[in-house]
Chain A
Amino acid sequence: MGFFLETLFGGLMAGMLYSLIALGFVLIYKASGVFNFAQGAMVLFAALAMARFAEWFPKWFGFESLLLANLLAFIAAMALMVVLAWAIERLCLSKLVNQEGITLLMATLGIAYFLDGFGQTLFGSDIYSINVGMPKDPAFILEGMFEGGVMVSKEDLVAAVIAALLVVVLALFFQKTKTGRALRAVADDHQAAQSIGIPLNKIWVIVWSVAGFAALIAGIIWGSKLGVQFTLSLVALKALPVVILGGLTSVPGAIIGGLIIGVGEKLSEIYIGPMLGGGIEIWFAYVLALGFLLVRPQGLFGEKIIDRV
C-alpha cells in the first residue's frame, strides 16, 4: 500500500508538470483558436533562458547573491518571452488570419522547430541546471498509518504549491482584471469582441505572453528537478494527449487531464508494464487519448464540437 501511494504521488507530480504545459496550450487555443504545437519548444526556450541568465548575470555584473541572480534571470526570461510572443504575433499569426486550423497547426510546428534551433544556438545545447533553492531532501508522511510512512520529495510539494498558485493567479487574472475580461470576450467570439473595440492583435500578444509565463514556470520546475535539456521539448508533446483528455477549451480540464495522464502512466508502468515488456510509459498517454477520442472527442470538460454546414 505504501508503495502504491508513492507511485501515485510520483504520478501526480509528473502529471502536474504535464498540466502546466497543457495550461499554456489551452490558454492559446481558447483565445485564438490556434493549436499551439510550439508550447513544448517555448518551455524549453524559457527554461534555457532562465538557466543561462542565472549563470551569466553574476559574471557580467559582478555580484554573488543567488537570489538576485535568479530574480534578474526570471525577469529577463519573462521579458524574452513577451518579446517572443510579440514577434510570433507580428511575423506569423497576423499574416495567417482566417486560415484553416490545419495551416495554423503546421505554422506552430514550424515555430517549434525554429525555437528549438534558436534557443540552442543562443544558449548552448548542454544540460544546464536551474537552482532556485528548492529543498532537495525527501520527507515522510502518514507515518502513523504505514510502516515507515510514504516518501515524498519536498521539492515536489513545493512545486505543487507553485503550480496551484499559478492556477489561482491565472484564474484571478482572467476573472477580475479588465484585460482578463477582454481575453474571455475574445475567447467567446472573435468578431463580437472586435466590434466592441477590443484590439485582437494586442490580445493575442497578451495571451501568448501569458502562455510564455506558464511555460517559464513549467520550465523552472522541470529544470530544477531534472535539468534543462533538449528532451524537455519532446516530453512536452505529452501535453497533447492531456488536452485531448481534458478538453481543448477547459482550464480545469487541462489540470485534471494532466493528473490523470501522470498517474495512469506511472501506475500502468508498474502494474501492466511487466506483462508487456516494460517501457509502456512512452505510448500509454497517446493510446489513452486515442481511445478517448473515439468515445468522447470533446474530452472530459470541453465544449461539444458542433460543425455547422
Chain B
Amino acid sequence: MLYRENGQFKTSYAADQQIFPILQDRWAIGLLLLAAFVAMPMLGSEYFFRAILIPFLILALAALGLNILVGYCGQISLGTGAFMAVGAYAAYNFMVRIDGMPLIGAMLLGGLSATVIGVLFGIPSLRIKGLYLAVATLAAQFFTDWAFLRIGWFTNNSTSGSVSVGNLSVFGIALDSPVSKYLFCLSVVCVFALMAKNLTRSAIGRQWMAIRDMDVAAAVIGIRPVYAKLTAFAVSSFIVGVAGVLWAFVHLGAWEPAAFSIDRSFQLLFMVIIGGLGSISGAFLGAAFMVLLPVVLDQMPHWLGIPISTATVSHLVHMIFGALIVFFLIVEPHGLAKLWSVGKQKMRLWPFPH
C-alpha cells in the first residue's frame, strides 16, 4: 500500500534513469542518510562506534571494491587483504616521508598505489580464469605479507614491525573521538558508494558485466577484454586500497601485516557472496552480517545463560559462515541483496498480488 509507484510519471530521460526512480526509495535513502549522519552521532555509545559501526563501514567499502571485481566482472580474487595492505602501507609512507601531507591526499595516493599493484597482479587474468586466477591473487597475498614484514623500508625501519599514525585531521578538524572518525568514514563510504553505483550503471560497468557473463561473446560484440578486465582490477583495488587506509589509520591506529592476512581476504569474499554478487547494497548487507554475527554469537551465551568458551564461539562462527556460503550459493546465489529486492517486489504488489 505504502510502497507503490502509481502516479509517478517520468517526463524526462534523466528522471527515468536516476538511481532511485521510485519516490519512496528516495525518501527511504534520505531518511537513512539523515539517521546515519545526524541521529547516530547523538545516540550511539563509544563501544558501538568503535566495535561495530566503524569496522562495518570500512569493511563495507572494501567489500564494495571486491564486488566490482568478483560480482561485476567475474574475476575471483583471494588477495583483497594484500591490496588493503598496499593501500595502508603506501599511505603510511606518503604521510611519514612527505611533510604536511593531508590525510585525504595520503588516502588517495594509497589507493592509487593499490591500483598499480592490483593491475600488475591482474595481468595474468588476461590469460587465465577461475582457480588459476585465485592462485595468482594468492601469490599477491603471500608476497605482500612477506614484503611488509621483511623489507624495512616500507615500515620506515620500525624495530617492532608494527607502524602507527597519530593526530589525524581533515580540513583542520581533528579525528580524535569515535564520533568524528565515524563521520569521516561515513562520508568517504558515501562518496565511493555513489561513485561505484554510477560506474556500474555506465558503459564501463556494462562492459564488466558482459565480460562476466560470457567473455567470448563480449569480445565478439566489440568489448576489449583487456581493457574491461584491467579497469575492473584498477577500480576494485583503488577502492580496496582506500578501505585499507581507513582500516589502518582510522580503525586500528597502529598495525602490522597480520591485520591484512589471508583471513581478511576470505572474510571479504564471504561478505560479497553472502551480501550479493554484483550489487552495491549487497556489499553493505554482507558487511553488516559479517560484523554483527560474531558479536551476536559472542553475546548469545550470556543472554541464554549457557557457558561457551570464546574458542568454541570462533569455531562456531567458522562453521556458520561456511554453511551459509554453501547455503547461499545453492539457494540464492545473489545473496541478501536479492532477497531484499524480492521483498520490495512483493511490497509493490501487496496486498493484491495479481
Binding site for B on A (CB under 8 A): 35, 91-92, 95-96, 99, 101-103, 105-107, 109-118, 120-121, 125, 234, 237, 240-241, 244, 248, 276-280, 282-283, 286-287, 289-290, 293-294, 297, 307, 309
Determine the chain B residues whose CB is within 8 A of the CB of A116 once the complex forms. Answer: 315, 318, 322
A98 CB to nearest chain B CB (Å): 12
B151: Cβ under 8 A from any A Cβ: yes
The stretch among B43-51, B138-146, B160-168, B191-199 that forms the contact with chain A is: B138-146
Interface pair A286/B143, CB less than 8 Å apart: yes
Interface pair B329/A96, CB less than 8 Å apart: yes
Question: What is the chain A residue whose CB lies nearest that of B329?
Answer: A107
Determine the chain B residues whose CB is within 8 A of the CB of A117 once the complex forms. Answer: 314-322
Interface pair A297/B128, CB less than 8 Å apart: yes
Dominant SS among interface residues on chain B: helix
Interface flags for B129-155 (1: CB within 8 Å of A; 0: not) read 111101110110011011001110000
Interface pair A280/B146, CB less than 8 Å apart: yes
A283 CB to nearest chain B CB (Å): 4
Interface pair B322/A110, CB less than 8 Å apart: yes
B223: Cβ under 8 A from any A Cβ: no
Determine the chain A residues whose CB is within 8 A of the CB of B234 once the complex forms. Answer: none
- Give the residue of A109, A278, A297 whose beta carbon is less than 8 angstroms from that of B132: A297
B339: Cβ under 8 A from any A Cβ: no
B316 CB to nearest chain A CB (Å): 7
For B, the interface residue count at a CB cutoff of 8 angstroms equals 45
Question: What is the chain B residue whose CB lies nearest that of A237?
Answer: B138
A19 CB to nearest chain B CB (Å): 17
A10 CB to nearest chain B CB (Å): 21
Determine the chain A residues whose CB is within 8 A of the CB of B266 once the complex forms. Answer: 109, 113
With known contacts A114-B318, A277-B150, A107–B325 Cβ distance under 8 A: yes
**Residue among A109, A241, A248 having the largest count of chain B Cβ atoms under 10 Å:** A109
B333 CB to nearest chain A CB (Å): 7
**Residue among B129, B146, B216, B316 having the largest count of chain A Cβ atoms under 10 Å:** B146
Interface pair B124/A109, CB less than 8 Å apart: no
Interface pair A277/B151, CB less than 8 Å apart: yes
Interface pair B134/A293, CB less than 8 Å apart: no
Interface pair A109/B325, CB less than 8 Å apart: yes
Q: Which of B304-321 contact A (CB under 8 A)?
A: 311-312, 314-321
B276: Cβ under 8 A from any A Cβ: no
A102 to B211, CA, bound (A): 14
Interface pair A290/B136, CB less than 8 Å apart: yes
Interface pair B124/A283, CB less than 8 Å apart: no
A309 to B315, CA, bound (A): 44
Question: What is the chain B residue whose CB lies nearest that of A289?
Answer: B135
Determine the chain B residues whose CB is within 8 A of the CB of A113 once the complex forms. Answer: 266, 270, 318-319, 321-322, 325
- Give the residue of A35, A278, A283, A309 whose beta carbon is less than 8 angstroms from that of B142: A283
Interface pair A35/B333, CB less than 8 Å apart: no
B232: Cβ under 8 A from any A Cβ: no
Interface pair A121/B139, CB less than 8 Å apart: no
Interface pair A105/B315, CB less than 8 Å apart: no
Interface pair B146/A282, CB less than 8 Å apart: yes
**8 nearest A-B pairs in the assembled complex, by CB-CB distance:** A114-B322, A117-B318, A110-B325, A113-B322, A286-B139, A117-B319, A35-B131, A283-B142
- Give the residue of A110, A120, A283 whose beta carbon is less than 8 angstroms from that of B326: A110
B330: Cβ under 8 A from any A Cβ: yes
A172 to B138, CA, bound (A): 35
Interface pair A286/B330, CB less than 8 Å apart: no
A173 CB to nearest chain B CB (Å): 26
Determine the chain B residues whose CB is within 8 A of the CB of A248 once the complex forms. Answer: 131
